[in-house]
């Protein structure tokens, strides 16, 4: 879809549809008021008759409003004016887009970007609207033989801003919102792809295809043979039970001088996690195709970054692997020597993500990174702790943790910090190796974070557990595209482009 901003008055718009807000109880917003005057009280009459209360999300589509140049006017209920918050704003936008998409308006001028949302400026409102519009229209129908498409889909959306002075802000919001949306799109497409198609090789092919589209993006892989030479035995062990070879894919984005240390994003890319010999129960096991949600979000963030052409160096590491039970599979009781030299006793082959990640975290030391952030659907315990609303953030570097929390606040892609205090480390003790791959049931997400922290001493490091946020279960099952907005915001904030004026 195409987006733009302008600053004009509602009665002068000549569009298929113009979108204005109505507050509860039956109160016209400022712009709606302007339309009302031009139409000689047409809108206020409707409200008086009780056609629209103004409750958040209510929609009333009007045709041929007297003296109005636009073909349609969409009145959108915005709830009580004082109570309009971020969440409600996003919900209202999403509903508006759906209504427009299904009622034949192929273009619209939207005045909802002028609503007052507590503590948020025009940049935020336009950017959130772009992201909500794009996300709301997402469908995954590549694998359906009959695709249902709306007959006259919305193609062009113009956001109105209150003053001409705010136009550049609005334009930047669109640019950023589109980049994030593009990243979320690839993230969702890759994560939704079934595990018989989306293998570690498929992830590599996606990364390679992306690199083909941008001059300053290049691609390489670490194949199993090289992993063996490097001693990445934990990574290799996890993939041993699968017919699909493990592949670590690397995307190198160069936006700054060679000697600027890169930020590295590491994504857990388990294209299927059956649990291995510690096999999972069969209920909902299909959802373990999303166990590459971290990898998908790294691909998404790299896509957004390449779109934005930010002046930083970033490496995306996609740790592709499949965890299956088999005669060759690794077992509980095995002791593995990781690339770092530290040994790990496997207590449960279903705690595989940390094994793939620990070797990847050691591997990326060679890039002398300034910062490494790993993103992983690592523990079911994170869903127990935080549900599906916030990603679990863990870090051994306070400033980095705060940067990520800020980015999460700005982007609306929430994260919440969990502690990595030394006291939690003891649970990983093993009688047979330097550590076990599991620390018991208590504080399962922190246990996994503690495990990873032992492989990240050479750089500033943070870990995002996205088990709860990367996908939705139930009727609307599918990948969410998170935490692409958070990661992209973090990268934006590392450059001047992210500084608000």
Binding site residues, Zn ion, CB under 5 A: 270, 273, 291, 353
CA distance 60 to 82: 22
Residue 178, exposed/middle/buried by CB under 10 A (0-12, 13-18, 19+)?
Answer: buried
| DSSP three-state, residue 114 | helix
Distance CA 16, CA 31 (A): 17
- Report the chain's C-alpha Rg in angstroms: 25
Unique residue bearing structure tokens 């549900």: 387
Q: How far is the CB of 349 from Zn ion (least distance, A)?
A: 10
CB of 379 to ligand BES, least distance (A): 4
Under 8 Å between Cβ of 378 and 297:
no
Out of 354, 414, 454, 482, which one is annotated catalytic?
354
| Cβ nearer to Zn ion, comparing 136 with 380 | 380
Binding mask 70-109 for ligand BES (x = CB under 6 A): ----------------------------------------
Q: Is 80 annotated as a binding residue?
A: no
Binding mask 352-391 for Mn ion (x = CB under 5 A): x---------------------------------------
CB of 324 to Zn ion, least distance (A): 12
Active site residue 454: no
| 321 contact partners, CB below 8 Å, separation of at least 6 | 200, 235, 238, 239, 242, 246, 269, 270, 271, 352, 356
352 assigned to a ligand binding site? yes
3-state SS of 370-439 is CEEEEEECCCHHHHHHHCCCCEEEEECCHHHHHHHHHHHHHHCCCEEECCCCHHHHHHHCCCCCCEECCC
Q: Which stretch binds ligand BES (CB under 6 A): 62-70, 294-302, 344-352, 417-425?
A: 344-352
* Residue-level length of the chain: 501
Enumerate residues 462-491 that contact ligand BES by CB under 6 A: 467
Name residues contacting Mn ion, limited to 258-297 (CB under 5 A): 273
From 245, 350, 359, 374, residue interacting with Mn ion (rule: CB under 5 A): 350
| 25 preceded by a cis bond (ω within 30 of 0) | yes
Question: 36: how many CB neighbours lie within 10 A of its CB?
Answer: 21
Binding of ligand BES at residue 192 (CB under 6 A)?
A: no
Under the criterion CB under 6 A, does residue 348 sit at the interface with ligand BES? yes
280 assigned to active site: yes
Binding piece for ligand BES, criterion CB under 6 A, among 139-147, 334-342, 347-355, 388-396: 347-355
Alpha-carbon gap, residue 383 to 306, rounded angstroms = 31
Interface characters, 376-415, with ligand BES (x: CB under 6 A): -xxxxx----------------------------------
Closest approach, Cβ 358 to Zn ion, in A, equals 14
**Using CA atoms, how far apart are residues 360 and 441, in angstroms rounded to an integer?**
25
H or E element at residue 314: strand 313-323
Task: Find the binding residues for ligand BES in span 260-319 (CB under 6 A).
Answer: 273, 291
Residues 424-443 that bind ligand BES (CB under 6 A): 438
Nearest-approach distance from CB 291 to Zn ion, in angstroms: 4
Q: Which is nearer to Zn ion, 189 or 291 (CB)?
A: 291
What long-range pairs does 225-229 form, CB within 8 A, spacing at least 24? Answer: 227/359
Binding site for ligand BES (CB under 6 A): 273, 291, 348, 350-353, 377-381, 438, 444, 467
Catalytic residue ranges:
280, 354
Q: Which residues are annotated as a binding site for Mn(2+)?
A: 268, 273, 291, 350, 352
């Amino acid at each position: 879809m195409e987006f733009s901003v302008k600053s004009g008055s509602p009665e002068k718009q000549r569009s298929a549809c113009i979108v204005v807000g109505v507050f509860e109880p039956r109160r016209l917003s400022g712009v709606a008021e302007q339309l009302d005057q031009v139409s000689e009280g047409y809108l206020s009459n409707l409200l008086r008759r009780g056609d629209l209360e103004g409750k958040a999300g209510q929609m009333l589509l009007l045709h041929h409003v007297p003296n109005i140049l636009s073909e349609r006017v969409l009145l959108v209920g915005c709830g009580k004016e004082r109570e309009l918050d971020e969440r409600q704003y996003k919900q209202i936008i999403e509903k508006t887009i759906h209504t427009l998409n299904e009622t034949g308006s192929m273009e619209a001028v939207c005045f909802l970007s002028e609503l007052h949302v507590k503590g948020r400026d025009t940049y935020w409102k336009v950017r959130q609207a772009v992201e909500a519009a794009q996300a709301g229209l997402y469908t995954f129908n590549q694998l359906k033989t009959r695709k249902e498409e709306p007959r006259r889909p919305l193609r062009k959306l113009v956001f109105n801003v209150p003053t001409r002075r705010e136009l550049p802000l609005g334009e930047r919001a669109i640019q950023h919102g589109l980049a994030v949306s593009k990243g979320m799109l690839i993230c969702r497409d890759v994560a939704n792809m079934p595990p018989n198609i989306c293998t570690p090789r498929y992830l590599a092919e996606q990364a390679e295809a992306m690199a083909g589209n941008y001059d300053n993006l290049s691609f390489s892989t670490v194949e199993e043979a090289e992993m063996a030479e490097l001693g990445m035995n934990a990574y290799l062990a996890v993939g041993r039970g699968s017919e699909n070879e493990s592949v670590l894919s690397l995307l190198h984005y160069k936006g700054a001088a060679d000697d600027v240390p890169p930020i590295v994003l590491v994504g857990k890319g388990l294209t299927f996690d059956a649990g291995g010999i510690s096999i999972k129960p069969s209920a909902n096991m299909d959802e373990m195709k999303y166990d590459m949600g971290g990898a998908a979000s790294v691909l998404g963030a790299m896509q957004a970054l390449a779109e934005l052409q930010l002046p930083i160096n970033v490496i995306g590491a996609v740790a592709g692997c499949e965890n299956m039970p088999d005669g060759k599979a690794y077992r509980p009781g095995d002791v593995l020597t990781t690339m770092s030299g530290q040994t790990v006793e496997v207590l449960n082959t279903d705690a595989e993500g940390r094994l793939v990640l620990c070797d990847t975290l050691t591997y990326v030391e060679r890039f002398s990174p300034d910062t490494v952030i790993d993103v992983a659907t690592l523990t079911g315990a994170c869903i127990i702790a935080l549900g599906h609303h916030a990603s679990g953030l863990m870090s051994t570097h306070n400033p980095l943790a705060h940067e990520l929390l800020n980015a999460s606040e700005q982007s609306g892609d929430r994260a919440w910090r969990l502690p990595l205090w030394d006291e939690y480390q003891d649970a990983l003790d093993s009688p047979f190796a330097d550590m076990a791959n599991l620390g018991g049931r208590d504080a399962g997400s922190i246990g996994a974070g503690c495990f990873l922290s032992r492989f990240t001493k050479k750089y500033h490091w943070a870990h995002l557990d996205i088990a709860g946020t990367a996908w939705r279960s139930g009727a609307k099952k599918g990948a969410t595209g998170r935490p692409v907005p958070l990661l992209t915001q973090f990268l934006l904030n590392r450059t001047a482009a992210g500084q608000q004026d």
